[in-house]
Every structure is written in structure tokens, then in C-alpha cells.
Chain A
């Protein structure tokens, strides 16, 4: 935390809903009284490329981008992507890690090697103070819809922030279609109430 600003980073792969999840996170900040900014890039990133979104809450936020080494909460929607953006994490910061693996095509037709789970977790744990790992897709599928996985991740993230859960739920419900509201609420609560594994907590 720098100048009273809370920095978040969300990283995933085009199609995983990184942008909507970060929209929700920015709106939650606004909802609870912070100034909030967020930034990501559209365009080519939609085509299965790496996607990263920065979200910042604070009294007055200047830059919409976080600096390397300043991110308090890093939500990685995919294992490899957690490593790609790890340098943004503040030493001792918190990582919410979805165990989903989406190997890029270069690991299929080329010689690139997708890192295994143990490698990823060991590397993330080197820098993170706390790692919440979860099978967000599995939890979401258990609730009947894999597309609500991001609400599971936001739920896990919310357990680390001292805010009224209703603030999160209100914003999530305002951003999803009526027929998916109930499922997203359940997914959020599943994530919040510990459908995750604490891998590191010094």
C-alpha cells in the first residue's frame, strides 16, 4: 500500500472474463467510497492473448496503472499467467490463484514447456505473503456454471478485505444479467467462505 492506495492486479487469458471481473472490483471500490481507476488494453488481447487489468482504490488515484512491486492483491485466473505478472506483487502481498491451466499454442506446436503446479506455487510463494489457491472452475461447475468462476475468485479476494460482503454482492448483481444473479451470489459466497486452500500464510 502506497500513499493510502490499494493496488490490485487481475491476470488471465482472453475469454476468461478478466475485464468484467476488474470492472466489478473497481466499482466495489467506488461503492465503498474510494476514488477508483482501472486500466487494461482491448483489441488484440481478445484473441486468446494474455490479459492484465490494473485496479486502484484510494482517496485520490492518479495513475490508472500500478507500478511493479506495489500490488497488494493479485488475482491470477490461470497458473502460467500468475508467473507472467508476478513482479508486480509487493513483497508480502496476497495472491488469489485459480488452479486453471490453459497452455498456449506455443507449448503444443513448439518446444515451450508449460510450468507444473509445484513450480508455479513455489515461485509465487517466494514473493507472496499469502497465497489462496482454488479450483475456481471446479467450484463454479459444482454450482452448475463454469462461467461464474470469477465470482468465486472475487469471493476469495473479498475474504482478505475488511468490507461488507453486501457491497460486493450489490455490485456483482448490478453487472450480471438478472437470471445469473443468484448463481453469482452463491459463487461469491463459496469463494468467500473458504472454498480455497491456504498455501502460504507466514
Chain B
């Protein structure tokens, strides 16, 4: 049977076909859909863990216990999980362990565009890299074979394009894999220095054997064509190279670590000019150069940003590898209005950032939908780094002598991901730090996944939510307030009192995610005769509010108009309007 699947759907299918019984992840673009699709197979235990490190530890433990296991994460998630990756490289596994890292060249939804191929070399584990959905599925099965043959975790790297692009996949049945018995073996699984020292040579020996295996495997293939140009490539870059250089000879690396030195030498000896087409860092290029071969890569193709076929083509034309030019189109309008992502109409985070704008404190924010609070017109964020960084940076700015007040802002999922140790640090050191937890009880940005505060697991079970205010109190925070962020006055008071307290303070701001909960009101409307086009409601940045065609007689400014199809009845515009020119929507009758 054939099916059109995204890379992530295909990976989920591969996880199922491989007989995997445990799969874990923390959601993160572009990896999220892997576990969402794994969940559709009843014979796999699947969970959202609180963060990627926990996810990987669970998968490692499950592999030790004897079941094939997978942990999936985005590229920066592997930073969080890296400590576990490194010990698992030393201990090896029992049943197979596959770790999926979904990189994001082009930063479609990330804070950096790191190249996680380096982790394979760094942690001394093999890495496979599929070029389309069929390989995404097949390589999961190959990765398990490799994992069990060489007693090693195996990394499978995708990028946003291989994760999200759809292509045709031929499906197979699920393999029946016997559970392996767990046998206590402390020198293998206990990484105290004395035992770890003994494991290091095992790891190095494994890499030598894997390098020999890499020479023979059909994961690395040569497509012979015109021998005047030879291209070494992997992943999605292979598809672009195939598109742009249909005649060239290509060495396609399905296994990007360790590299097949002899195969590369052999290929290089048969072609007149050798180039590497790869996204982001010159990972393959530098290793090929170390073999003493003459090779070009980043001198032709960009180091920064995701590759596209036209970027590859333009670079190739620039290097005289190809001739050609574009379609000659020169736009005569523009620059066009940009359309960046915005907080949804009715998003509860808007209330919080509207208040913070008024309070004028510096805002150390975090990763999630609320990162959009940085954009105009709300424009009320000073720093964002990585998951959980808000709290530590906020503490540091106090210790570093910031001249104004500051607050940390973190979402519920991020609080449990990496906020807890930072909050413990604040309490422990008696740091005067104000933390606002914007709690909409869902992991919004990645598509509304559950988390410890949401009340629902990946498997759809209802569980009791972990109460963030109670957690804060039990961690020793004395100043804990809970507030409905929709009540702007209460929200503002809570933040100001917390700042004034001079101690570690937590404000849990309960907000609405319009995808999950509702304001229970019909859309609001502008009373056109009362509106004078003052622009105040425009400044909340709500995508449901437009300039109408009607101009105010006195000011000649366009009066506001609310699109009833987009408005979900939050009422922030009503609260900010100084002229009472906005009519609330009727309360929705909730059918029980």
C-alpha cells in the first residue's frame, strides 16, 4: 500500500513497523507530529515528557529494560537531552534505542539554526539522515538494526523540510520483536568513573567498527552520471542537488556519521571536480578535506539559512558550475506589508502584555506563543533565550544591577520543562524576582499538546493537573497570587504588588487559549457613531480589529471595525476603549 505522508508521519509509521513499544518526546517544531502520529497506534506506549532530557531518560530506561524505544525532539531539545545522550553512548543499550533530532535550518520556529550532525561526532554515535518520507520510515528500521548490532543509541536527523514535506511511502506490517531480558550489569549501566573509564575504549572501538560498516552499507550510494562533477550530499540537500544537477555523479550519504572514508576517496578519484552540497555547517566538507582531498562546499553554497533549490542553483551559477538566470520579474509594487505571526484574536496572553506595557518593567520572557508579545504594537519584551531562561535571566538582571523593575514571564508547559530548577534557585538564594506564569493550560505554540498543567496526557487520559500556585508555595515562595488575566485591574495590581514585595514572588495569570477554552461571548461590535478613530484599540494588535472605510467627521481618521468572523469575544478592546464605543457581545448560552 502506498500513501502520501509527511516525514513525521512516516517516522511514526517506521516506529510502529519496527516493533517499538515505547516512544517519548517533548513537543517542538518541526518534530511535534512524530509523537502525535505514534499515539494513533495503540500498541505503542507514547508520552509527552516534561522536557527532552526526561523523554530521553525514559526511552533509555525502556531500552535497558528490553523494549525498542524512541525519543523524538527538535534540534534545541537535544541540547537539553545532551547529557543523557552522552551517558547512553557509553552504556550502550539492550533493546534498540533511536533518537530523532529534527533540525530547523532557516529558523522557521526556533531560536537558532544549530546543525545537530555535530552531536553524532561529539557523542560518538552513528547518525542516519533521510532525504524523503520513504527513507524517513525505512531509516527508523535501519537505525534499530544498527542500534542492536553495535550496542549504541542511533541518531536519526531530519530537517524542517524532510519533517514537513509530504511524499509517497510504501507501507509494511509491524515487525514482531521479542522483548530482551534485562540482566543487571553495573559495569555497563552504572557510569561511575571507574566503570565509565572501562566503557570509553568500548565506545572508541565501536566507532572503528561502525566506520568499517559505513563503507559497505547500502545507506551510502553512488549515482554515477557525468564524471566532470561529483557531488557529496545528504538529507534534503540531496533532493536539491538532484534537481539542480540532473547529470552529475552523486555520492548520497544516508549515514552521515561515521563517514565512509574509502568510499569518499574512491568517488573523489573518479570525478574531475568534487563539491559538497549540505545545509548549514561544512560538516561533510571538513571531514572530506581531512582526508586530504580537494573539495569545495561553503565557498560556493551558503552557510546560513535553509537551502532551497534556487539557492543551490544561484550559488552554482555564481561558481560557474551552471549557466542561467532568473525569470526576470521585477516587482513594481512594494515593499509589501509584512505578515508576521500574531497572537490570535482573543488570546489571553494579550491581556498580560497589555498590562506589562503599562507597568513598564523590563520583561524577561520565554519560549511559547507569548514570545509574540515582543512584536509591535505590544512590544513589551526585553529578552528571550531558550526554554526556561526567563527566570534565570531575570534573577541575573537583578543581581547585575538593572536600573528598573523587571519580571520573568513563562508559560505553563515551559514552567514544567525548565522553570522549576530556576524557581528553586530563586527561593534558595532569596532573590527578589517576580515570575508571571501565563497559564493557559496547554502547550500552545506547537499545536496545543498536553503538559503537566493541562489535565490530559498524550494518550487522552484525564489526569489531575499539577497546580502551579501550589507547586510554587511548596517550593517556598511566600508571595503567590493567582489572577484571571482578563481582569486587567486585578492583573496590574498583582504585578505591581509582587514587584513591591522585594522577595521571590509568583503571579499565576490564568489565560485563555482560544483553541482550547472559550470566552463564552459572541463577537464585540464597534458603535460607529461613538468611535472617533482614536486608534487606542488598534494598539492591542488584535487581528480581528480593522480600520473601516468610514472616516470620523472631525478627525478624518478611519473608525474601527471588528470582524465578527474573527472576534471570539475576549473584550480587551472594550476594556481599552476610552469612549465606550465598543459594545460587548452577548454571553453565550452554554448547553449542558
- Give chain A's interface residues, CB within 8 Å of chain B: 3, 13-14, 23, 26-27, 30, 35-50, 61-70, 80-81, 83-84, 86-87, 89-91, 103-110, 112-115, 119-120, 123, 126-127, 146
Contact = CB atoms under 8 A, between A and B. Distances in A.
B56 to A, nearest CB: 22
A123 B332 contact: yes
Nearest to B335: A112
24 contacts: A23-B4, A42-B447, A43-B29, A43-B446, A44-B29, A47-B372, A48-B339, A48-B342, A48-B543, A49-B341, A62-B243, A63-B243, A63-B309, A64-B132, A65-B161, A68-B327, A83-B331, A87-B327, A87-B329, A89-B327, A106-B376, A110-B377, A113-B337, A126-B329
A114 B337 CA distance: 7
Nearest to A107: B337
B253 interface: no
B336 interface: yes
B550 to A, nearest CB: 15
A45 B341 contact: yes
Nearest to A68: B310
A123 B333 contact: yes
Given A37-B166, A112-B338, A68 B326 contact: yes
Contacts of B164: 39-42
Contacts of B374: none
B48 interface: no
Interface in B84-129: 108-109
Contacts of B581: none
B376 A64 contact: no
B547 A80 contact: no
B556 to A, nearest CB: 16
A115 B331 CA distance: 13
B416 interface: no
Interface in B258-290: none
Contacts of B132: 37, 64
Contact of A3 (B246, B333, B336, B445): B246
A49 B342 CA distance: 7
Contacts of B333: 83, 115, 119-120, 123
Interface in B292-338: 308-310, 313, 326-329, 331-334, 336-338
B336 A48 contact: no
A137 B367 CA distance: 36
Given A30-B4, A113-B337, 11 more contacts: A27-B4, A47-B343, A47-B369, A65-B161, A67-B308, A68-B327, A80-B339, A86-B331, A104-B337, A106-B338, A108-B538
Nearest to B566: A15
A84 B30 contact: no
Contacts of A44: 29, 108-109, 341, 445
B167 interface: yes
Contacts of A103: 337, 546-547
A50 B332 contact: no
Contacts of A126: 329, 332
Contacts of B337: 80, 103-104, 106-107, 112-114
Contact of A14 (B310, B341, B565): B341
Contacts of A115: 333, 336
Contacts of A87: 327, 329, 331
Contact of A43 (B30, B246, B344): B30
Interface residues of B, number: 59
A50 to B, nearest CB: 4
Which of B166, B240, B333 has the most C-beta atoms of chain A within 10 angstroms of its own C-beta?
B166
Q: Binding site of B, secondary structure by majority: helix, strand, loop or mixed?
A: loop
Given A38-B165, A48-B543, A91-B328, A13 B108 contact: no
Given A46-B447, A109-B539, A62 B239 contact: yes
A80 B344 contact: no
A118 B2 CA distance: 45
Contacts of A26: 4, 166
Contacts of A114: 337
Interface string B547-574: 1000000000000000001000000000
Contact of A105 (B167, B445, B543): B543
B142 interface: no
Interface string B217-243: 000000000000000000010011011
A49 B339 contact: yes
A40 B446 CA distance: 15
A80 B342 CA distance: 17
Contacts of B160: 41
A46 B472 CA distance: 32
A158 to B, nearest CB: 19
A44 to B, nearest CB: 4
Contacts of B547: 103, 107-108
Contact of A109 (B165, B236, B376): B376
B542 interface: yes
A64 B161 contact: yes
A47 B421 CA distance: 30
A33 to B, nearest CB: 12
B545 interface: yes
B107 to A, nearest CB: 10
B4 A47 contact: no
Contacts of A68: 310, 326-327
A169 to B, nearest CB: 18
A49 B109 contact: no
B190 interface: no
A159 B217 CA distance: 48
A84 B336 contact: yes
A62 B328 CA distance: 25
A174 B336 CA distance: 37
A49 B108 CA distance: 12
B541 interface: yes
B542 A86 contact: no
A49 B242 CA distance: 31
Contacts of B327: 68-70, 87, 89-91, 127
**Ranked 6 nearest A-B pairs via Cβ:** A69-B327, A43-B109, A47-B341, A112-B337, A43-B29, A64-B165
Given A39-B164, A46-B341, A63-B309, A110 B4 contact: no
Interface in B326-371: 326-329, 331-334, 336-344, 369
B168 interface: yes
A38 B5 CA distance: 10
Contacts of B309: 63, 65-67
A123 B372 CA distance: 32
A84 to B, nearest CB: 6
Contacts of B29: 42-44
A62 B30 CA distance: 21
B493 interface: no
Contact of A67 (B30, B313, B542): B313
B535 interface: yes
Interface string B129-171: 0001000000000000000000000000000110011111000
